[in-house]
Amino acid sequence: MTDFLHKLSTEIINENQVIVLEDLNVSGMVKNRKLSRAISDLGWRQFRTFLEGKAEKYGREFQVISRWEPTSQTCSCCGFKGGKLDLSVREWECLNCGRKHDRDTNAAINILVAGGHASSGGAALTETLNGRGGKHKTTAKVAAVNETSTRSESFKQRASV
């Protein structure tokens, strides 16, 4: 198992500049009879340790987001929080925007966004955060150059006279 975890962590580090993990409550998950054996066998803690060490060694950015971030419950498109989902629910549809999500893919996008990195699909991080009510603002100087004015031409002419 250790050999597999070393190879997988090396592959992930070699292929990515940024690694963002969700801090999972593994000790709490092991208490679940249905999941305990599978989780214990996977060596998640050891895998995280390998990733952290190799990220530092190879100069990669490594982040861990809070376990309380609702990554699988939040729509990665509009930010709507749909509520707790049973583990058996693998796909769901956002009640706000109607987008269909694979639970794991949606969570992965939300983990990247929570870690401060661009989401998949080509959307820039600032636009994703801005769409969700983030604090990113366009300055007035940038807006004046890039945006069309809402004032009529006659008003502009009177103002310049």
Average pLDDT per 10 consecutive residues for the chain, totaling 161 residues: 90 92 73 68 81 95 88 89 85 91 90 72 45 47 48 51 52
> What is the token pair recorded at 133?
């009510």
pTM recorded for the entire structure: 0.59
Q: What is the pLDDT of residue 146?
A: 46
Q: Are 7 and 50 in contact (CB under 8 A)?
A: no
Specify the 3-state DSSP secondary structure of 52: helix
SS3 63: strand
pLDDT of residue 59: 94
pLDDT for 121: 43
